[in-house]
Amino acid sequence: MAKVQFIKAADVKPWLAELAKEHRVFAPSYDGEALLFRPFDPAREIVLDRAATMPPKKTVFPQSEQLVDFTYSKDPEDLSRIKIDARETLPSGSTVVFGSRPCDVRGFTMFDRVYLTEKTTDIYYKARRDNTLFITLACASIENTCFCNWVDSDPCDSTGSDVLAIPVSGGYLLETVTDRGGKLLSSKLLVDGESKKEEAEKFCEEVAGALGAARDLSQAPEKLLAVFDNMEFWDEVSAKCLSCGACTYLCPSCYCFNITDETIGMKGKRLRSWDNCMSAQFTMEASGHNPRPTKAHRLKNRVGHKFSYYPAIHGGVTSCCGCGRCIKSCPAGIDIREIVLKAIDFKPAAVEE
């Protein structure tokens, strides 16, 4: 049975201060007008009444990270030969992320199916994933861009979390999801939460109901493939797109990257940085050929990957969390929901005999 504890709202900061003695702790706070997951600072306000502008993706998959240190040296026996001494720079230490939303953390389960497999393991991702714990906060309000229930989730979904925090009167009910999450609930600031369980259950029912009815996306994989070669369709739905990439950078489940080497003299480092599939350079080949030459081709790949190709490879799981950030922050007002539904409802024009 999951362990449940209660913490007063006023005790959240002191609790995080305790956790910060053993872990790096991140919590949502403002940086200018953006609400980001920043290193915990007792003097800084923690904002929990709205979802962060960006998900906490950087805590496990940094926007830019060093993978390798390398040094060139000349072979004293043959000066025409260059030796390379390369060393991996694996991350260390443990991290606790507080205040992430269910859709945020669910995104990492989509990373896991790609980077943590029997055939391939990304050692850098694994090192952070294994040592990062998520205290997820159930959503208390629903925005018109939210659609997590379309992708088999809900505002109290604990998938990918270690602890689920549910707002109740006076504070939060903390439900243990994993054994290691339970170890975070040993503070004297926490008390038994059994008396708050009924209130928490009612909260989750009400907030889930606020989402309204979910649309059926079961036909999306097949229907998106059916319009794959219909460039008139993709030209139409991508007409407003600016190819700015905001959708990919704000997405909890986008995991594409680029590798670059930076050198100064005889020393250098290899970096991995997020990449943007909406950029014309994303698939640009050395020859100059680009298999996705237009924004229509690139948007087709982005939507198709999330709602068709990924589900086909990973047992029907959609690579979208329904957080709505790509809708809310798109400067051109593109709505990925409309594109998917348009593909599902698309009927080819009748051919005249």
CA distances from 190 to 9, 23, 99, 217, 243 (A): 11, 18, 17, 41, 47
pLDDT at position 74: 86
Strand ranges for the chain from DSSP E: 4-8, 24-31, 34-39, 64-75, 78-88, 95-100, 132-137, 163-168, 171-176, 191-192, 257-264, 267-274
Average pLDDT, the chain: 95
Among the listed residues 348, 336, 320, the one whose alpha carbon sits nearest the alpha carbon of residue 223: 348
Residues of the chain falling short of pLDDT 50:
1
pLDDT at position 320: 97
Cα(33)–Cα(176) distance, integer angstroms: 33
pLDDT at position 350: 60
pLDDT at position 80: 80
Q: Structure pTM?
A: 0.93
Which is it for strands 4-8 and 191-192: parallel, antiparallel or unpaired? antiparallel
Query: Do residues 257 and 114 lie in contact, with contact meaning Cβ atoms separated by under 8 Å?
Result: no
Give residue 78's region: left, alpha or beta (phi > 0; psi -120 to 50). beta
- Three-class DSSP category at 301: helix
